[in-house]
Amino acid sequence: MNLREKDKSVSILVVDDEFSVRDSLTKWFRSDGYKAESAADATEALKKLQAGHWDIVFLDIKMPGIDGMELQQRIKNVNPEIVIVMLTGYASIDTAVKSLKEGAYDYLTKPVDPDYLSHLIEKIIQQRRLSRENVLLKEKIQELNLTSQIIGQSPEMLKVFELMRSVAATDTPVLIKGESGTGKELIARTIHSQSTRRFFPFINLNCGGLDEGLLESELYGHEKGALAEALYPRKGKLEMADGGTLFLDEPAVLSIKAQTALQRAIETKQFSRVGSQEIIKVDFRLISATSKDLEILVKEGTFRKDLYYQLNVFSISVPHLRQRGSDIPLLANYFLSDLTKGMNKPITGFSAEALKLIEKYDWPGNVQELKNAIERAVVISQGPFINSLELSLPIVPEIPPDEFSLEATEKAHILRVLEWMKWDKEKTARALKIDGDTLQSKIEKYGLRK
């Protein structure tokens, strides 16, 4: 089903003092299924604009009385959402360009090319639909009641949210399981922020970054002079977490020696700094996160059984992004909104093809990979919508089933390169390894337009 078949409710007003122009355009729009009316001057147009709802106005620049430029401003003041397309003769191109700067969507020179007119209407409808979809997605984001950046409304994530709420108010140790990039640390921080310990520290112990030779110093701290480089006394991670939450990130990578030291400290919650005999007692909540199956590692003898039982009192399994497809557009728009604000870029959403690719891709790196892809796209994008090429995903946009011919493939490829090069024909020709005349010939042959 094409765009026009889905958007027959679009209403169009043609304003032109030339009867032949407004009559032919109005009949053309009606024959294509749109609601269309005409007005011979600004006074008649304003009455019709006040009496009903209009999506698009085709507006002649030169008219007796109130001209098109002044009428454009009046329309924008009343309803800035109306799309205005200016109609002009070749002698008033400069004025048409000025109208674009003042908010017109585009301009057409008379006589109007029916093929380009059809293309323009479809483009307007598509962008309006995309804008509406992005507004709805952003509204859904605002409706989420979690106090963190965790985004999701799929059944899988709703289950995760419920488990988080259930365990947050307790001191029960939590083991968060999930693939890399699924947001396990964010979930841990959210549990901490909703617990009675939220006014105390959240301390991240990156198990993969522990130096085996300085293990006890990292965990317990040290006194001045206890080590060669110990010029000052230093708190260890356990002492820093007192009153708050200790977050163990990927404990599966710890050596048996490190596991033993950690297990003892977790069990007794007391220790001495390196270089001191003073006993320090601590009280912390334990949350761990792993992308490995610790139960299998226990059976293989590479992970201590008693430490596993200490960590795995209450478990939360975070689904990978492939399992929560309905959340992908929501996440994508959340990241886009957040990143565009930070970079001050006027990007309002994704093209239809870009959204299709985002939903189709497997995202092996999960939420983190999705965020990274959108951040790259925001950096390089120059238009109002992120397109499929700017996402730089390792999959190629599909060619519709009825377009497998060599010509159709060439047309699609040239169009993609033109869009990628922002319609710079010189750069496009170089990228395609053809001369400029050949490129121009193919653009005309396939009827390619911005």
CATH assignment of 155-319? 3.40.50.300
**pLDDT tens digits, one per residue of 384-436:** 889 888 898 876 555 455 445 677 778 878 887 888 788 889 988 888 889 98
- What's the confidence (pLDDT) of residue 8? 60
Give yes or no for a contact between 39 and 14, defined as CB atoms under 8 angstroms apart: yes
pLDDT band with cut points at 50, 70 and 90 for residue 136: low
Backbone angles phi, psi at 96, to 5 degrees: -65, -40
Round to whole Å and give the CA distance between 174 and 240. Answer: 19
pTM: 0.57
Mean pLDDT of the residues in the chain: 86
Q: Which two tokens stand for residue 216?
A: 């006890």
* pLDDT computed for residue 96 by the predictor: 65
Determine the pLDDT at residue 238. 93
| Predicted confidence (pLDDT) at residue 5 exceeds the cutoff of 60 | no
Q: Is 388 helix (H, G, I), strand (E, B) or coil?
A: coil
Preceding amide of 346 cis, omega within 30: no
Say if domain 3-141 classifies as CATH 3.30.750.24.
no
Grade residue 2 by pLDDT with cuts at 50, 70 and 90. Answer: very low
How large is the average pLDDT for residues 261-284?
92
Q: Cα–Cα distance between 290 and 72 in angstroms, integer?
A: 60
Long-range pairs of 20-26 with CB within 8 A, sequence gap ≥ 24: 21/60, 21/87, 21/110, 21/112, 25/58, 25/112, 25/117
Strands (E), 1-131: 11-15, 35-39, 56-60, 83-88, 106-109
Q: What is the pLDDT of residue 4?
A: 39
Tens of pLDDT, residues 194-219: 898 988 899 999 998 777 777 888 88
Name the fold adopted by 399-450.
Arc Repressor Mutant, subunit A (1.10.10)
Closest C-alpha among 54, 323, 59 to residue 179: 323
Residue 344 pLDDT exceeds 70: yes
Strand (E) or helix (H) holding 122: helix 114-143
- DSSP strand pairing (83-88 vs 174-177): unpaired
215: helix, coil or strand? helix
CB 417 within 8 A of CB 87: no
The reported pLDDT for the residue numbered 79 is 79
- Checking if the pLDDT of 29 tops 60, the result is yes
Mean pLDDT across the stretch 104-119?
84
pLDDT at residue 80 greater than cutoff 60: yes
Q: Is the pLDDT of residue 60 over 70?
A: yes
149 pLDDT band (50/70/90 cuts)? low
CB neighbourhood size of 262 (10 A): 25
pLDDT per residue as tens digits for the range 61-73: 888 888 888 898 8
- What is the structure's pLDDT at 281? 94
Instruction: Single out the residue of 188, 193, 273, 214 nearest to residue 238, CA to CA.
Output: 273
**Residues 6 or more apart whose Cβ sits within 8 Å of residue 114:** 28
- Between β-strands 314-317 and 174-177, what pairing exists: parallel, antiparallel or unpaired? parallel
For strands 56-60 and 349-350, give the pairing.
unpaired
Helix, strand or coil, per DSSP, at residue 58: strand
Mean pLDDT over residues 33-55, rounded? 88
Q: Specify which residues 288 forms β-bridges with.
A: 175, 248
Shared fold status for 3-141 and 155-319: yes
Q: Which residue would you say has higher pLDDT here, 17 or 410? A: 17
pLDDT class of 31 with cuts at 50, 70, 90? confident
Structure tokens, 425: 């024909």
Domain limits, the chain: 3-141, 155-319, 322-386, 399-450
Q: Which CATH architecture has domain 322-386?
A: Orthogonal Bundle (1.10)
Q: Classify 363 as helix, strand or coil.
A: coil
Rounded Cα distance between 201 and 245, Å, is 6
* Residues 413 and 442 sit within 8 Å (Cβ to Cβ): no
Return the pLDDT at 3.
37
Q: What are the strands, taking DSSP E only, across 272-410? A: 280-281, 285-290, 314-317, 349-350, 385-386
